[in-house]
Structure 1
Amino acid sequence: MAQVLVSDNQHVTTGQPLVQFDARDQQAALAKAQAGYEQAQAQIIVAQANEAEAAANVVVANSALLQAQQDYQRYHAINQRAISQQSLDSVTATISAAKAKYDAAVQQQNAMQAAITAAQAALAAAKVDVANAQLQLSYTTITAPADGRISQRSVRAGEVEAPGAGLMGLVGDHVWVTANYKETQLPGIKPGDPATVTIDAVPGITFKAHVDSIQAGTGAVFSLLPAQNATGNYVKVIQRVPVKLVFDDDRVAQYNLSPGMSAEPSITLQQ
């Protein structure tokens, strides 16, 4: 751990850096990836220049081949007895040589085009390497996922933290009330019903709220040690079901409300 950028009970905003791990390895990896990307870009430029040169060679070779073919046709148009066999053989050899040079130039151009394709693939791979290195570097800075206050900060600069270890808590600014109503009180309660909430920490003030949702199961079902209703156990216990109430009152932000505080809700049933 290189730096701890917040203190206990400090208010933070979404995206604010909380801690900074030693990032030298990740920074070196990013620099290496960026160098590889720049090298891949240079290879594309070289490959494109080579392909342009090869294309020019194809044009030159094609011109030479056309000239040789025209010379051959011109010699053939002349009376065969007016020219020597040696001259005909020379023209024929010139055509063969020009054709060979043209074919070689075309093959070279094709090879350069393939080199461009390979260089483009290498550039794409280098771009992925840079993105991955940037991602790994971003992991060295932990930021706040939401607005809220820091609580139970246990991390200290210079410590070596194990993967998955808790560093601190973050209590979000968005608070709600979980009201555990008896199952016999649930009939008639539905999402959207208006409600009021009084909080012991803010005496004398009643906050407006509404029913957001009703848990699909009793509180006992989702507890760490759920009750076991063994066969023969006929003791009936009224269960409680958590009902989530969300505040509709802007005054909530004025008070230092925290999870675990005592509250007394009241729901107005709608006919």
Structure 2
Amino acid sequence: MAIKSLLPSAVTSLAIVAGAAGVSLVLYSWNLPPFHGSLETTNDAYIRGAVTTIAPQLAGNIVQVPVRDFQHVSQGDLLFKIDDRIYALQLAQAKATLAAKTAALAKSARQRMSARAQVEASEAQLESAEAALTQAVSSWQRTQALQRKGFSANSDADKSRAAHDQAAAAVRQARAALTVAKQNLQATEADRDQLKAEVEGAGAAVRLAEINLQNTRIIAPRDGTLGQIGARVGQYVSAGSSLTSLVSDTIWMVANYKETQLPGMKVGQKVTFTVDALDGEVFHGRIERFSPATGSEFSVIKSDNATGNFTKIAQRLPVRIAIDAGQPDTGRLVPGMSVEVSVNVATAPLPPAAALAEAEPQKSRVALP
């Protein structure tokens, strides 16, 4: 009877112990009080990298595609080539126009020299005419004086008067010729300024044609790995159309931590993370910097918390994490992979020099098999 009475209480105690152990295990697994420690973990984290869309700057038919899907390329490698015959002819035409404008400018320089010489010649003619007029005036004045005294014949006076009038007319003519010469020089100078502007415009047209010709060769802007090739030989492409994407070799991580996990988290603290695609292999990194705002602040449609009932929801703040250099299999990390990140907020941040030495940019050299 005593044994039978003890059985229900033992079963009850065992159930209580098992339930408490289960609850404790759940609390420990989720890092919740009273088991909440200094390790902050999140699975809302992903590998990131610079993904550049490759697009042409001009339209034309594709004549060469020397690359393949998912191929690794170096900066400057040819990715696509557009038919360049039209653009080569445009460059030749622009160079011919530049040569013609340059020749016209050189001719204008010679014309300016000739116009200046003409001005100098007109000035000399004016000086000569003025000297002749001075002499004619003196002669006419002497003739008048002699005529009044009866020592000069009327015919001599007429000749002196005619010479005076001719000299005065020659001065007026020389002055008019000088004015015309100066106006011609001014016109030549104005034409030269216009020709200079035309030469500059023709030179700009040559440079533009050279850029267009260069843009028929679409090259890799940096080292990286290509996505799927979206163009084939013979295909007509327009400016801005997407041909492929280039994923830069430099990668990093972005972990979205809840705001309740941020206390104690600092730039430079070491980070450990595992990658789902690599069977939980452990990698190391460090906190590089924090986002200036939570993810909700960057959303297009923001929630309005000023109306209706309010339920507090912990926001997430993106944290950028650099991946330590020299780790095995970092070349298999590619942007978009899911990772699980852990930060021990009780650890001190690395000094700046040590942090830079341990966290050089990683390069995605080989994709997953």
Unaligned runs of 5+ in 1: none
CA contact (8 A) 1:194 1:268 kept: yes
- Residue 86 (structure 1) aligns with: 162
- Residue 177 (structure 2) aligns with: 101
1:18 is the counterpart of 2:79: yes
1:208 is the counterpart of 2:285: yes
CA contact (8 A) 1:196 1:210 kept: no
Q: Given the superposition, is the C-alpha separation of residues 151 and 225 from structure 1 closer, same or farther in structure 2, using an over 3 Å criterion?
A: farther
Alpha-carbon offset, residue 13 of structure 1: 2.3
Note the 1:214-253 alignment, pairs <5 A.
Answer: 214=291, 216-218=293-295, 240-251=316-327
Q: Given the superposition, is the C-alpha separation of residues 167 and 205 from structure 1 closer, same or farther in structure 2, using an over 3 Å criterion?
A: same
| Aligned AA (1:160) | Y
- Residue 250 (structure 2) aligns with: 174
173-182 or 129-138, which deviates more:
129-138
RMSD: 3.0
Q: Given the superposition, is the C-alpha separation of residues 228 and 259 from structure 1 closer, same or farther in structure 2, using an over 3 Å criterion?
A: farther
CA contact (8 A) 2:266 2:287 kept: no
In 2, distance between residues paired with 1:151 and 1:88? 97
126-135 or 249-258, which deviates more:
249-258
CA contact (8 A) 1:207 1:252 kept: no
TM-score, normalization: structure 2? 0.64
CA contact (8 A) 1:199 1:262 kept: yes
Q: Given the superposition, is the C-alpha separation of residues 227 and 144 from structure 1 closer, same or farther in structure 2, using an over 3 Å criterion?
A: farther
Unaligned runs of 5+ in 2: 1-61, 145-155, 349-369
| Aligned AA (1:75) | A
CA contact (8 A) 2:290 2:317 kept: no
| Aligned AA (1:24) | R
CA contact (8 A) 1:215 1:243 kept: no
- Residue 55 (structure 2) aligns with: none
Note the 1:58-69 alignment, pairs <5 A.
Answer: 58-69=119-130
1:121 is the counterpart of 2:182: no
Structure 1 residues 176-223: Cα deviation after superposition (integer angstroms, max 9, x where no partner): 1222333321222233333233445387553333333236223x7767
Largest Rg, 1 or 2: 2
Secondary structure, counterpart of 2:250 in structure 1: coil
| Aligned AA (1:154) | G
> What is the number of equivalent residue pairs in this alignment?
269
Secondary structure, counterpart of 1:132 in structure 2: helix
- Residue 148 (structure 2) aligns with: none
Structure 1 residues 45-82: Cα deviation after superposition (integer angstroms, max 9, x where no partner): 11111110111111111111101111111222231346
CA contact (8 A) 1:58 1:105 kept: yes
1:138 pairs, out of 193, 214, 218, with 214
CA contact (8 A) 1:195 1:211 kept: no
- Residue 187 (structure 1) aligns with: 263
CA contact (8 A) 2:78 2:220 kept: yes
Secondary structure, counterpart of 1:84 in structure 2: helix
What is the percentage of aligned positions where both structures have the same residue?
30
CA contact (8 A) 1:194 1:211 kept: no
